Amino acid sequence: AGAARAPPLREVLQRHRPLPVLCLLGVNPLRRVDGGVPLRGFPGNVLNFDLGLDAFTIKYVEISNRVESMQAAECGGQCARGVGPGRRLDDHDDPDHSRFVAIYASADNTSVLTEERMRQALELENQLRDHLGEPVLSGLRAFFPNYPAAEGALTGAAFQAKLYDSAKLMHDTRNWGNSIAVWPSYEKHFTECHMESRIVTSTFAEGDRDMYPEFETYATSDLYLAFFPEREHVEREVFGKQRSATIVMDALLLGGVLLVSYALMAIMTRSIFIATAGMLGIVLSAAGALFFYRIVASSWFGILNAIAFFLLLGIGCDDIFVLSDTWRQATEVQDIPADECFERLKFTMPRAGFAILTTSLTTAFAFFGNMISVIPPLRLFGLYSGFMVLVDCAMTVTLMPAVLVIQQKYFARFDCYGRWPAEKPGSPRRLEAFFVTRLLPKIMKGAPALLIICAILVSISLNVAMELPAGGEFHPSELFPAHHNQAKAQRAKLMMANRRPHLVRAVLVSGVVPVDYSHTLNPTDKTAVHWDTAFDPTKPEIQTFVMEVCNSLLSERRMVRSVDACWVRTVAQKLLQEGHEFPTSNATLFHIAARDAWGLERVDRDQYFGRIYVTATVENQASIEELREHYDMWEVWNNRWKAEARARGLSGGENIFHASEAWVRMATIEDLSTSCISAVCVSTLLVALTLLVMMQNVVVVGAVMLHVISVCLAVVAVLVLRGKSLGVTESIGITILVGLSVDYLAHMGTSYLDEPSHLPRDERMMGAFSHFGTSVMAGATTTLLSACFLLMGKLTFFVDIGAFVVCMVVFAFFAAIFPFPATMFLFGPVGNFGQIPCPKRFRKGAGSENAAEPPEPEPKAVVDDGPARPSTATRPSTASGTGSRTSRSLAVNLGVEAPKVSRKLCAATLLSIVGIFIAGGVARGILSSAAGATVEADCPEVTEINFTFNDYLIDDQNPDDYRCKGFPPPPAHCPYYLMGFKPIVAPEVEHVVHHIIIFATDQPQQSCPFTCFDMPDATGMDAGWAVGVGTVTWPQGVGYKIGGYAQAIQMHYNNYNKRSGLIDKRSGLTMMVQTKRPETVMTSINVGLHPRGTMDIPPNETNGTYQVECAPALDGPITVLGYATHAHQLGKAVVSELLRRPSADAAFQRIGDVGSTPYYNFNNQKVDLFEEAQFRTVNPGDMIRLSCSFDSTSRTQWTRSGYGSQDEMCMTFLYAYPVEHIMDGSCLVASAHASSSRPFAAKVEPPRSAA
DSSP letter string, 73-116: HHTTS-GGGTPPP---GGG-SSTT--EEEEEEEETTSS---SHH
At 231, give phi and psi (nearest 5°). Answer: -85, 135
Asked if 714 and 811 touch (Cβ cutoff 8 Å), the reply is yes
SS3 sequence of 148-185: CCCCCCCCHHHHHHHHHHHHHHHCCHHHCCCCCCCCCC
pLDDT for res 471: 64
CA 1075 – CA 1082 distance, rounded (Å): 15
Q: In degrees to the nearest 10, what's the CA dihedral of 782, 786, 788, 792?
A: 160
Segment among 52-56, 228-232, 578-582 with least mean pLDDT? 52-56
CA 679 – CA 35 distance, rounded (Å): 31
H helix intervals, 349-421: 354-368, 376-406
Asked whether residue 8 carries a pLDDT value surpassing 60, the answer given is: no
Asked whether residue 1206 carries a pLDDT value surpassing 80, the answer given is: no
pLDDT for res 884: 37
Best CA proximity match to 396, nearest among 493, 288, 511, 482: 288
Segment among 36-40, 278-282, 378-382, 820-824 with least mean pLDDT? 36-40
Q: In degrees to the nearest 10, what's the CA dihedral of 437, 440, 445, 449?
A: 150
CA 143 – CA 153 distance, rounded (Å): 6
Task: Give the number of other Cβ atoms within 10 Å of residue 821's Cβ.
Answer: 25
Using 50, 70 and 90 to split pLDDT, how confident is the model at 838?
A: low
Asked whether residue 1245 carries a pLDDT value surpassing 50, the answer given is: no
Asked if 1229 and 1110 touch (Cβ cutoff 8 Å), the reply is yes
Asked whether residue 345 carries a pLDDT value surpassing 70, the answer given is: yes
CA 556 – CA 869 distance, rounded (Å): 85
Using 50, 70 and 90 to split pLDDT, how confident is the model at 783?
A: confident
At 981, give phi and psi (nearest 5°). Answer: -155, 155
Using 50, 70 and 90 to split pLDDT, how confident is the model at 1235?
A: confident
Segment among 552-561, 744-753, 843-852, 1224-1233 with least mean pLDDT? 843-852
Conformational region of residue 147, where left means phi above 0, alpha means psi within -120 to 50, and beta covers everything else: beta
Using 50, 70 and 90 to split pLDDT, how confident is the model at 1152?
A: very high
pLDDT for res 844: 54
Asked whether residue 1133 carries a pLDDT value surpassing 90, the answer given is: yes
Q: Is the peptide bond before 829 cis (omega within 30 degrees of 0)?
A: no
Asked whether residue 421 carries a pLDDT value surpassing 90, the answer given is: no
Asked whether residue 340 carries a pLDDT value surpassing 90, the answer given is: no
* Comparison of pLDDT for 470 and 747, the residue scoring more: 747
CA 998 – CA 965 distance, rounded (Å): 10
Asked whether residue 80 carries a pLDDT value surpassing 50, the answer given is: no
Cα–Cα distances (Å) from 301 to 94, 289, 307, in that order, read 36, 12, 11
Predicted confidence (pLDDT) per residue in 423-469, tens digit: 555 555 666 677 777 787 888 888 899 999 999 999 999 888 888 87
Task: Give the number of other Cβ atoms within 10 Å of residue 538's Cβ.
Answer: 18
* Mean pLDDT, all residues of the chain: 79
Report the SS3 class of residue 1073: strand
Predicted confidence (pLDDT) per residue in 202-221, tens digit: 888 877 777 777 888 888 98
Asked if 1075 and 939 touch (Cβ cutoff 8 Å), the reply is yes
- What mean pLDDT do residues 6-30 have? 42
Segment among 157-166, 520-529, 933-942 with least mean pLDDT? 933-942
At 976, give phi and psi (nearest 5°). Answer: -120, 145
CA 417 – CA 411 distance, rounded (Å): 13
Write out the DSSP string of 1161-1187.
Answer: -TT----EE--GGG-EEE-TT-EEEEE
- What mean pLDDT do residues 1089-1102 have? 86
Say if strands 1176-1178 and 1131-1140 run parallel, antiparallel, or are unpaired: unpaired
pLDDT for res 1246: 41
Q: In degrees to the nearest 10, what's the CA dihedral of 387, 389, 394, 396?
A: 150
Report the SS3 class of residue 664: helix
Percent of the chain with pLDDT over 90: 16
∠ CA 1040-1043-1045, rounded to 5°:
115
Sign of CA dihedral 103, 107, 112, 116: negative
pLDDT for res 840: 56
**Burial group, residue 1033, by CB count within 10 angstroms (0-12, 13-18, 19+):** middle
Cα–Cα distances (Å) from 936 to 973, 1040, 1174, in that order, read 9, 21, 40
Best CA proximity match to 501, nearest among 1013, 1200, 1005, 1226: 1005
pLDDT for res 870: 39
pLDDT for res 96: 44
Using 50, 70 and 90 to split pLDDT, how confident is the model at 852?
A: very low
Percent of the chain with pLDDT over 70: 82
Q: Based on C-alpha coordinates, what's the Rg of the chain?
A: 38
Asked whether residue 705 carries a pLDDT value surpassing 50, the answer given is: yes
- What mean pLDDT do residues 759-765 have? 81
- What mean pLDDT do residues 1025-1046 have? 81
Segment among 328-337, 490-499, 876-885 with least mean pLDDT? 876-885
Report the SS3 class of residue 918: helix
pLDDT for res 26: 40
Asked if 566 and 550 touch (Cβ cutoff 8 Å), the reply is yes
Best CA proximity match to 659, nearest among 49, 9, 63, 19: 63
Asked whether residue 36 carries a pLDDT value surpassing 80, the answer given is: no
CA 501 – CA 496 distance, rounded (Å): 9
Asked whether residue 107 carries a pLDDT value surpassing 80, the answer given is: yes
pLDDT for res 392: 92
pLDDT for res 895: 62
Asked whether residue 803 carries a pLDDT value surpassing 50, the answer given is: yes
Asked whether residue 161 carries a pLDDT value surpassing 80, the answer given is: yes
Say if strands 1233-1235 and 1104-1110 run parallel, antiparallel, or are unpaired: antiparallel
Asked whether residue 54 carries a pLDDT value surpassing 50, the answer given is: yes
H/E element, 487: helix 485-496
pLDDT for res 125: 92
CA 867 – CA 638 distance, rounded (Å): 80
Segment among 160-164, 229-233, 817-821 with least mean pLDDT? 229-233
Taking every pair of Cα atoms in the chain, the longest distance, rounded to a whole number of angstroms, is: 120
Using 50, 70 and 90 to split pLDDT, how confident is the model at 714?
A: very high
Asked whether residue 906 carries a pLDDT value surpassing 70, the answer given is: yes
Using 50, 70 and 90 to split pLDDT, how confident is the model at 563?
A: confident
CA 852 – CA 838 distance, rounded (Å): 16
Segment among 233-237, 500-504, 960-964 with least mean pLDDT? 500-504
pLDDT for res 165: 84
